[in-house]
Amino acid sequence: MKILTNNFEETQKIGEEFAQRVKGGETLLLYGDLGAGKTTFLQGFAKGLHLQRRIISPTFIIMRSYAVDAIPNVHMFYHIDLYRTQTEHDREGLGIPEILKDKNAIVAIEWPEKLGSIMPKRAWKLIFTTVEENVRSITIEKV
């Protein structure tokens, strides 16, 4: 599925709608350059999960977790941004393999190409591309 959005609100809306599909145990891998709209999508996604707290970019702290109350069987939403991590060593200690096994969690990972050997085999793959200043393409596929 490929979608074009013409402003950030439309990207948030796509994220909000995507949240209606989740049942727990899903992983979202968000690919794309800086500014392509990954975090913006997740802000809408968080709204769709009815999170109490607003999503802020976890770039400087790498991982944030949010309690989820509104969806049966989903207890936690993890937002991980690997952009600032340099080495496997940086990524160890985040506990990502354990989080990915949690059937009651939803995990969204920006810059998933940095996962290396712990890349999940089954996930939603979302590819964000800047087309023009305010236009983004979003490709969503299940892998």
Contact positions vs Mg ion (CB under 5 A): 38-39, 57, 110
Closest contact distance (angstroms) between CB of 60 and ligand ADP is 13
Choose from ligand ADP, Mg ion, none: what does 26 bind? Cβ within 5-8 Å by kind. none
Q: Does 56 bind ligand ADP (CB under 6 A)?
A: no
In DSSP terms, which residues pair with 127 in a beta bridge?
A: 31, 139
Q: In this chain, which of 17, 23, 35, 104 binds ligand ADP, going by CB under 6 A? A: 35
CA distance 119 to 81: 14
Six-digit token string for 129: 């591309």
What torsion, rounded to 10 degrees, do the Cα atoms 107, 109, 113, 115 define?
Answer: -50
Q: Which does 5 bind (CB under 5 to 8 A by kind): ligand ADP, Mg ion, none?
A: ligand ADP
3-state helix, strand, coil in the chain (%, to 5): 30, 30, 40
- Say if CB 55 and CB 43 are below 8 A apart: yes
How many residues touch ligand ADP under the rule CB under 6 A: the total is 20
If one asks whether residue 28 binds ligand ADP (CB under 6 A), the answer comes out as no
DSSP 8-state assignment for residue 54: P
Of the pair 99, 127, the CB lying nearest ligand ADP is at: 127
Using CB under 6 A, list all residues that contact ligand ADP.
Answer: 5-8, 10-11, 32, 34-40, 57, 110, 128, 134-136
